[in-house]
Structure 1
Amino acid sequence: MSQDKPNYPIMGENNPLHNSVYGPPKIDAFGMPPPNYSQGPGAPPYAAPGPYTQPGYEQPPAPGFGPSPYPQGPYVQGPYVQGPYVQGPYPQSPYQQGPGQPAFGVDPNASVESPGYHGGDGPPSYDGNDEFVNFGWEDKSIRRAFIRKVFMVLTVQLLITFSFVAIFTFVTDVKVFVRRNKWTYYVSYVVFFVSLIVLSCCGEFRRKHPWNLVALSILTLSLSYMVGMIASFHNTDAVIMAVGITAVVCFTVVIFSMQSKYDFTSCYGVLFVCMIVLLLASILCIFIQNKILHIVYASLGALLFTCFLAVDTQLLLGNKKLSISPEEYVFAALNLYTDIINIFLYILALVGHTKE
């Protein structure tokens, strides 16, 4: 069998079939005829090789660019500008801040120390604690109104208590009655203890008006009866002296706590441990009847609750590490009231033992 070359029409050859069907070879946009695939691998290229030894076609440079050493493809460039690209309506560099979101109400040019940010005074972190919080006071009028309300409630409580003390001290019939009926003291102590537990542990209850004021009134009346009954067992001079000393000490501590830059609220845990130690010492004083031991115990108790008064005053002001929420005006008044009453009782015990 002879292997002859097939007589099929080949692209690029001058044969009548090709010319009649496809027409004569056309010249493309680059001025070069289409490739002839019948040529062998050793055929010369269609154009002179470029600087990188790759065949290519010479084209005019695109607008905005210089002559390129790279070979251009056979495709016609589109109508889009190739470069440099036109900048959009927004500046690309440097980037600028857009307008702030009106929903947040934050000035984008404000510093991080401004009250709108969580800096400076510190963030409000409740941490599951309703009494002691870090409160950022953007509106100081709320704090002033809170302080006025607390001191108003405290003033009423102290007036009721020292009215009981005056009646139980200067009215002889009342003094004789309470001395003969000591069971009333234990009843008032139970009522005071129950109301104290309710106001201290039930946060929702002490924020519910008017039941919080009712419970605070019951606590104030029961504690006033207890203090008046204790004062009835002391001399009138000792009671008057204890009231005067208590007023001077409390006023001085409150003013000092308001003006001092030292943070007493950071010592709250230490004072709580000292109170537990003082409670154990009181149990010891029950079994050991020693005048010197009682004087030392009364002195330490007055000193400890003076420190508690300083801490609770700064908690009320809210300008230190810990503060009380403005919703807790009943709890704040209760803290200050119990501190002052304990200072009075310890000073009364100290003065009474020194006069014996």
Structure 2
Amino acid sequence: MMMSKIDRPPPYEDALHHSKFENYPHQPQHGSPLPPPPSYSPSPGPPGYWAQEAVYPQAGMWATPMFSPAAMPNTIPTLSAGVPVSNPGDMEDFLSSQWESTSIRHAFIRKVYLILAAQLGVTFSVVAVFTFVEPVRQFVIRYPGIYWASFAVYFVVYCILICCKQPRRRFPWNCVLLGIFTVAMSYMAGTVSSYYETKAVFLAMGMTAVVCVAVTIFCFQTKVDFTSCGGFLCIAAVLLMIIGVVTAIVLSFQYVPWLHMLYAAIGAIVYTLFLIYNTQLLIGNRELAISPEEYIYGALSLYVDIVHIFLFILQVSGNVNE
């Protein structure tokens, strides 16, 4: 189709620089005329996003049999589910709070395990003195009152630690109580170890280390929540105390090795469950968790569990060697 000179559209440069072509007639359109393109209008959305009116036309604008306006989206999809586009700060605050809580929890775990490592270092050093230094070992065996006094000192210090809980601002006081309790429990563990052979003590130390490492790996990997089993653990602790009283009464009349070993094995299992429970409280991704400010309590709970596991395993290994 040929076009006359009058109907021919002007060159691009002339249309750009000369205003005489502003009223140039438009070519006739076949069919219904198309509406003008949507204009840009700023909205309160996040920087870098267009307004909703600029991205999606108004409903009914392109209503054709092949394109239904009802199928058109009404919002701009984002990477976060549940956070609206109009509030980008909510997503940033959510991510920052998650990052801060995770970093605080990791710092709390590192602090607890550093305190625990210092406590265990003191305890096993005292155990080594009572085991390898023969005059000390023979002195404890010759005077059993030292053995029973260690239990009394441990019980008194434990009650003082429970009843005299200080505010968090009294950090030095908490450290003093922690040190006194560590020395008392180390003294008790040392006197108990002096009644067993060196081979049994080494075997108990190795088995305790294996149990602690296995429990830690299990707690960090498993999806099972043991923090909801606090009632079951309380019942297990009460049963262990009752079994211990009955065993002590029976063994005072006649020593039965298999009964002593059975009680020690049950005690090791119960305190291993307590170690799992307290470790998951420490991790903090379960139903219950310890506050990051309670690092003294977290270290003490793990320390008591580990020392009791060592003592119960020591009784089992000592009876096996005998």
What is the TM-score when the length of structure 1 is the normalising length?
A: 0.61
**Structure 2 residue corresponding to 1:286, chosen from 237, 245, 248:** 248
Post-superposition CA distance 1:252-272 (Å, at most 9, x none): 111111111110111121011
Matches within 5 A, 1:147-166: 147-166=109-128
- Shift of the 256–317 alpha-carbon distance from structure 1 to 2, 3 Å rule, reads same
Give percent identity, aligned residues only.
46
Match of 1:344 among 306, 310, 314: 310
- Take 1:214 and 1:205, find their aligned partners in 2: how far apart are those partners? 14
Helix, strand or coil: the match of 2:171? coil
Partner of 2:209: 247
Contact 1:281 1:297 in 2 (8 A): yes
Match of 1:204, SS state, is: coil
Aligned to 1:145: 107
How far does the alpha carbon of each residue in 1:142-177 deviate from its partner, in whole angstroms, 9 at most, with x for none? 111111111011000000110111111111011112
Aligned pair in 2 of structure 1 residues 291, 143: CA closer, same or farther (>3 Å)? Answer: same
Shift, 1:288, TM fit: 1.2
- State the shift of 1:204 in Å: 2.8
> 1:257 is matched with which residue?
219
The counterpart of 1:210, out of the listed 147, 152, 172, is: 172
CA contact (8 A) 1:313 1:336 kept: yes
Q: CA deviation at 1:108?
A: 6.7
Match runs of 1:106-125 below 5 Å: 109=87, 116=94
Letter of the 1:343 counterpart: I
Partner SS, residue 223 of structure 2: coil
DSSP-derived class of the 1:288 partner: helix
Q: Is the 8 A contact 2:105 2:283 kept in 1?
A: yes
Q: Distance in 2 between matches of 1:329 and 1:350?
A: 32
- Which blocks of at least 5 consecutive residues in structure 2 are unaligned? 1-83
- Describe the shift of the 1:254–1:229 C-alpha distance in structure 2 as closer, same or farther (beyond 3 A): same
Q: Is the 8 A contact 1:199 1:206 kept in 2?
A: no
Shift of 1:207: 5.9
CA 1:203 to 1:175, structure 2 compared with 1: closer, same or farther past 3 Å? same
Distance (Å, rounded) in 1 between the aligned partners of 2:165 and 2:194: 35
2:134 to 172, 183, 186: 172
Query: Retained in 1: the 8 A contact 2:146–2:191?
Result: no
Q: How many residues align?
A: 234
Which residue is 2:42 aligned to? none
Q: Give the drift of 1:202.
A: 4.0
Unpaired stretches in structure 1, ≥5 consecutive residues: 1-105, 122-135
Cα distance in 2 between the residues matched to 1:113 and 1:336: 37
| Aligned-partner residue type, residue 225 of structure 2 | D
Alpha-carbon distance in 2 for matches of 1:224, 1:348: 15
Report the 3-state secondary structure (helix = DSSP H, G, I; strand = E; otherwise coil) of the residue aligned with 1:219. helix
- The runs of 4+ residues in structure 1 deviating greater than 6 Å are 110-115
Of the three residues 283, 287, 291, the one matched with 1:325 is 291
Q: Where do 1:70-109 residues align within 5 Å?
A: 109=87
Structure 1 residues 114 and 316: CA distance shift in structure 2, 3 A:
farther
